[in-house]
Amino acid sequence: MLENPGWLFVGATLLPLVSFLLLLIGGRHWGRAAGWIATAAIGAAFVLSLIGATLYLPYSGWFAHHHHGHHHSAGHEKHEQHAGPAQKAGHEHDHEHVTLAQREPGVPPWQGGLIWAKVSTGEPGQATGLRLGFYVDGLTVAMFVMITLVATLIHIFSTGYMAEELQDEVHDHQAHVVRAGRYPRFFTYMSLFCFSMLNLVLADNLFQIFISWELVGICSYLLIGYYYERRSASNAANKAFITNRVGDAGFIIGAAILWTYCGTLTLPDTVREQRNAKGEVVRVVEPGLFSRLRMPATDSHGTPLPAQLDEYIGNFARVEPISERSSGDAATRYRFSSSGPYVLLFTADHFHGEDLVLDDGISASTSPSATGLSVMPYWALVLAGIGVFLGCVGKSAQFPLHVWLPDAMEGPTPVSALIHAATMVAAGVYLVGRAFPMFTSEVLLVIAYVGAITLFVAATIALVQTDIKKVLAYSTVSQLGFMMLALGVGGWIAGLFHLLTHAFFKALLFLGSGSVIHGCHHEQDMMKMGGLYDKMKITALTMLVGVLAIAGAPLFSGWYSKDAIMVSALSFVVHYPQHMLLFLLPLITVAMTAFYMFRLWYLTFTGEPRDEHVYEHAHESPAVMTVPLIVLAFFSVTVAWGWPPWDAHASALEHYLDHEMPIYLHPDPDNRQVDKFLAPVRKYAEQPEAFPNVQLPEPHALAGLLALLSAGIGFLLATTVYYWGYLDPEGTRQQFASVYDFLWEKWHFDELYRWIAVRPALVLARVCRWFDLNVIDGLVDGSARATVRVSQWDGKFDLGIIDGLVNLTADVIYAVGAWLRNVQTGFLRNYVLFLALAAVGIFALVSYILALVG
């Protein structure tokens, strides 16, 4: 098994599934044991992923760099370790017996899988099918460790938090019902949730991801609606589900487009085992989406592509048809042009570099008929990208579809923690990161702007929320916005880095709030709390750690990741000044983040208790809940540390990710495949000295400084208002009543949607109903009446003629029978006589026949 340690992760994925099945079958009788089973499963998964990670590290080249000291000089060994997928594809065909391990020293080919639905379109490069496979690279490993660790802690926490569900009668004070406890059911769902998320991370193709995607969706539905007796809970569940459907529609449209044009949904290159002509098993590299969409550096025979194509290598090879004949026709000849309406797809198994260039006076042109390559419209590619991103928007609650996340707070707090920290919302960001190479520049801009808007809007709303969990929810939305923004501006590392760190401190915060709520007997309104510090010290302190981390206080994990984001944004803005907002909005939001987080902490733990009742009954939570808090707190501080810790850019995790970056983002001079749109950004971010004409200080220093500054402002503001009490929040509220209401109403998003989505839907429904009642039913009734008429006639015919015949037959038979009755005298002796007669007859007959015969 260990010659392909990817199976470790498969195992880690399947463990929760097993526990899910177990609990599904017998869980309801096991009570507390159910919790332990689920926890054990996910814990074991964590252990497995840890082993897998340790096995992976040697591959990642991160050690090498780490001993190397400063990370800039790591660039050189980087790129040969990171020969791109297309190159892999290229190298494959001339020497086929090369084993996976030899093939790629840098990236571990920890992959495997099978095609469970064979789909053969017959065209070259499209003879693939729906795949069930796994592909483990650095990102997967990191996600696995993070998810399993956080999930394990949350499970442990839940065993304490959900304890009251163990009793036979649970009084639901919000739904005013008495119901049976659902402790095992909770863990059943949790296990399924974990399985889905892990499978999502493990998958190597969009379709499998989509399946897990939907599984995650249904799990969130089940868990948010866990207290389904409460109307609000069931509504929230529906809202989450439906909102996600919108996104998923986009997702599947995008996937469909890709499938149609590229003939595969597999993201990375996969290796198939085939029998060649000699009948021996050889490994063939099946080019994945990326290496089909982006032009490789070499053709499929390993010879480098001609120099005229340099500007297209590693990018989408846009072409325009030369001849005016019907475009898209295979025989058409195309000319490369940076604004061409088509994209060349490298789906062919074999193509020669020189075929791409025809020296008939045209700079560079090709005809698919010659190369066996195919083309797809550029707009379709953009649409696909936006579609997939729409899916991510839905899952990670980005700007238009963010409304479901706050309502999702109706679920039990550990669920919120899991959704917000490790699983669901992370999925969106993860997918953007995973599918990054397939996004065109337009899509990236969309991502960036969506992220920017989201983070700003969510932060503003978070400012005024009083429900402790709602605040955290909006903070999550805003943080996700940060990540999206980072990814959009090419800060691939920054986005995922923040995803990882955020997972820890957000889990910490949620569990902390959960502990508070638990301690206050399900009181969630911060206005009723206050002064809880001396009641629950551990919770308070650990939450303080979380607050500091999210606010981006130095030496806390949030600091490093947020810095990275700001750097990416800054360098992007420097290169594309027209998108200045993409830096300003996050900058302001950092301040707001610090503000509302500290507001939350002050309101909860400091000052005078504002509700005696709550205060008296408040108590510290049991160890099962506090221990995870402490563990998470520890990680929230140290997860991003590197050496030296005070260097914001020495974070080990960041550099680890640095080595997992897609090839197209490496700004090295000799990397031909670099992305033309983002390369300068990355380059500037990493080697500002290469841009002498930019009149700005070194971006890291500048971005870090500004971020810290604004965070400090936010912190001071919060402290003055809610701790020292110099400013009276009430007064402020009256002053800016309109703004306050606007924020309190969450920018009226719900009303908006009610107007533009719900109401029209209802109206439409009414129209349909009317249509149904009058037209459809009218038709149906009409046909029914017609049928009645016809059948009346038919009936007459039936009665008259058919039955007439039948009855006639019957009567005849009856008559015959009545006549034959006389034979049946019922006298035993007559029967005997008949028997004897028959015997005589037969006897005579037989003897007569025999006589005839001879």
Partner 1 sequence: MSVGDILFWIVGLMTALCAVMVVVTQHIVRCAIWLLFTLAGTAGLFFLLGLDFLGATQLFVYVGGTLVLVIFGVMLTATGPFLQLRAGAGEWAIAIIVGLLLYGLIALSWLFADWSKLPESALPDDPRQMYHTEQLGRALLGDTSVQPASELAGVPGSLGAADKASGKLQEPPKRQASAFLLPFEIVSVHLLVVLIGAAYLARAKRKRVVVAPRESL
Partner 2 sequence: MNNVGLTQYLLIGAVLFVSGVVCMAIKRNAIGVLMGVELVLNGATVNFAAFARFHDAFRVEGQIFALFTIVLAAAEAAIALAIVLNFYNNYLTVDVDSAEELRG
Chain residues that interact with partner 2, rule: CB under 8 A = 820-829, 832-833, 835-836
Label the pairing between strands 170-172 and 177-179: antiparallel
Region of 17-25, 467-475, 670-678, 828-836 interacting with partner 1 (CB under 8 A): 828-836
Beta carbon of residue 810, minimum distance to partner 2 (angstroms, whole number): 18
Coil, helix or strand for 107? coil
- Which of 836, 852, 853, 854 binds partner 1 (CB under 8 A)? It is 836
Beta carbon of residue 822, minimum distance to partner 1 (angstroms, whole number): 15
Coil, helix or strand for 800? helix
Residue 762 found at the interface with partner 1 (CB under 8 A): no
Nearest to 87 by CA among 344, 268, 256: 268
Phi/psi for 694 (5° steps) reads: -80, 120
Beta carbon of residue 828, minimum distance to partner 1 (angstroms, whole number): 12
Structural tokens at position 478: 């805003």
Evaluate whether 350 touches 302 at the Cβ level (below 8 Å). no
Q: Which does 822 bind (CB under 5 to 8 A by kind): partner 1, partner 2, none?
A: partner 2
Beta carbon of residue 803, minimum distance to partner 2 (angstroms, whole number): 27
What is the rounded distance in angstroms from the CA atom of residue 177 to the CA atom of residue 173? Answer: 7
**Would you tell me how many other CB atoms lie within 10 Å of the CB of residue 497?**
29
Q: Which amino acid is at 258?
A: L
Nearest to 189 by CA among 38, 413, 14, 36: 38
816 versus 833: smaller Cβ distance to partner 1: 833
Handedness of CA 373, 378, 384, 386 (dihedral sign): positive
- Which of 584, 767, 801, 833 binds partner 1 (CB under 8 A)? It is 833
Instruction: Calculate the alpha carbon distances from 580 to 342, 468, 576, 689 in Å.
Output: 31, 33, 8, 22
Q: Which amino acid is at 295?
A: M
What is the rounded distance in angstroms from the CA atom of residue 185 to the CA atom of residue 174? Answer: 20
Nearest to 677 by CA among 581, 583, 575, 574: 575
59: Cβ–Cβ under 8 A, 6 or more apart, which residues? 106, 107, 108
Q: What DSSP assignment string belongs to 321-369?
A: ESSSSPTT-TT--EEE-TT-SEEEE---S---GGGG---SSSSSEE-HH
Q: Which does 828 bind (CB under 5 to 8 A by kind): partner 1, partner 2, none?
A: partner 2
177 versus 838: smaller Cβ distance to partner 1: 838
Residue 845 found at the interface with partner 1 (CB under 8 A): no
What is the rounded distance in angstroms from the CA atom of residue 814 to the CA atom of residue 295? Answer: 90
Residue 837 found at the interface with partner 1 (CB under 8 A): yes
Beta carbon of residue 176, minimum distance to partner 1 (angstroms, whole number): 59
Q: State the DSSP code for 802.
A: I
623 versus 835: smaller Cβ distance to partner 2: 835
Q: Which does 1 bind (CB under 5 to 8 A by kind): partner 1, partner 2, none?
A: none
Q: Which does 68 bind (CB under 5 to 8 A by kind): partner 1, partner 2, none?
A: none
784 versus 839: smaller Cβ distance to partner 1: 839
326 versus 822: smaller Cβ distance to partner 2: 822
Residue 773 found at the interface with partner 1 (CB under 8 A): no
Residue 757 found at the interface with partner 1 (CB under 8 A): no
Nearest to 500 by CA among 364, 726, 660: 660
Q: What DSSP assignment string belongs to 713-756?
A: HHHHHHIIIIII--S-HHHHHHHTHHHHHHHHTGGGHHHHHIII
Residue 847 found at the interface with partner 1 (CB under 8 A): yes
Beta carbon of residue 847, minimum distance to partner 2 (angstroms, whole number): 15
330 versus 837: smaller Cβ distance to partner 1: 837
Region of 39-47, 329-337, 386-394, 834-842 interacting with partner 1 (CB under 8 A): 834-842
Residue 839 found at the interface with partner 1 (CB under 8 A): yes
307: Cβ–Cβ under 8 A, 6 or more apart, which residues? none
**Would you tell me how many other CB atoms lie within 10 Å of the CB of residue 792?**
10
522: Cβ–Cβ under 8 A, 6 or more apart, which residues? 173
Per-residue burial over 140-170, b if 16 or more Cβ lie within 10 Å, else e, is bbbbbbbbbbbbbbbbbbbbbbbbebbeeeb
Beta carbon of residue 831, minimum distance to partner 1 (angstroms, whole number): 13
Residue 824 found at the interface with partner 1 (CB under 8 A): no
Give the x-and-dash track for 453-492 against partner 1 (CB under 8 A). ----------------------------------------
Region of 183-191, 404-412, 656-664, 841-849 interacting with partner 1 (CB under 8 A): 841-849
What is the rounded distance in angstroms from the CA atom of residue 429 to the CA atom of residue 826? Answer: 93
Q: Which does 844 bind (CB under 5 to 8 A by kind): partner 1, partner 2, none?
A: partner 1
694 versus 813: smaller Cβ distance to partner 2: 813
Q: Which does 847 bind (CB under 5 to 8 A by kind): partner 1, partner 2, none?
A: partner 1
277 versus 823: smaller Cβ distance to partner 2: 823
Beta carbon of residue 831, minimum distance to partner 2 (angstroms, whole number): 9
Residues in the chain: 854
Evaluate whether 69 touches 276 at the Cβ level (below 8 Å). no
Give the x-and-dash track for 370-409 against partner 1 (CB under 8 A). ----------------------------------------
Query: If binding means CB under 8 A, how many residues of this protein chain bind partner 1?
Result: 9
379 versus 834: smaller Cβ distance to partner 2: 834
What is the rounded distance in angstroms from the CA atom of residue 434 to the CA atom of residue 213? Answer: 14
Region of 72-80, 338-346, 780-788, 829-837 interacting with partner 1 (CB under 8 A): 829-837
Please report how many Cα atoms fall inside a 13 Å half-sphere around the Cα of residue 4, on the Cβ side.
Answer: 14
Beta carbon of residue 850, minimum distance to partner 2 (angstroms, whole number): 18
Beta carbon of residue 809, minimum distance to partner 2 (angstroms, whole number): 20
What is the rounded distance in angstroms from the CA atom of residue 682 to the CA atom of residue 383? Answer: 25
Q: Which does 823 bind (CB under 5 to 8 A by kind): partner 1, partner 2, none?
A: partner 2
Phi/psi for 448 (5° steps) reads: -60, -45
**H/E element holding 353?**
none
Q: Which does 824 bind (CB under 5 to 8 A by kind): partner 2, partner 1, none?
A: partner 2
Residue 831 found at the interface with partner 1 (CB under 8 A): no
What is the rounded distance in angstroms from the CA atom of residue 723 to the CA atom of residue 544? Answer: 14
Q: Which amino acid is at 124?
A: P
Beta carbon of residue 793, minimum distance to partner 1 (angstroms, whole number): 59
Backbone torsion region of residue 272, taken as left when φ is above 0, otherwise alpha when ψ lies between -120 and 50, otherwise beta = beta
**Would you tell me how many other CB atoms lie within 10 Å of the CB of residue 734?**
10
Residue 829 found at the interface with partner 1 (CB under 8 A): yes
Beta carbon of residue 807, minimum distance to partner 2 (angstroms, whole number): 22
726 versus 827: smaller Cβ distance to partner 1: 827
761 versus 842: smaller Cβ distance to partner 1: 842
Residue 840 found at the interface with partner 1 (CB under 8 A): yes
Q: Which does 692 bind (CB under 5 to 8 A by kind): partner 1, partner 2, none?
A: none
780 versus 840: smaller Cβ distance to partner 2: 840
Region of 50-58, 545-553, 731-739, 831-839 interacting with partner 1 (CB under 8 A): 831-839
Beta carbon of residue 177, minimum distance to partner 1 (angstroms, whole number): 56
363 versus 847: smaller Cβ distance to partner 1: 847
Label the pairing between strands 170-172 and 129-136: unpaired
Beta carbon of residue 822, minimum distance to partner 2 (angstroms, whole number): 7
Beta carbon of residue 844, minimum distance to partner 1 (angstroms, whole number): 6
Give the CA radius of gyration of the chain: 35
**H/E element holding 710?**
helix 699-718
What is the rounded distance in angstroms from the CA atom of residue 438 to the CA atom of residue 288? Answer: 11
Binding site for partner 1 (CB under 8 A): 829, 833, 836-837, 839-840, 843-844, 847
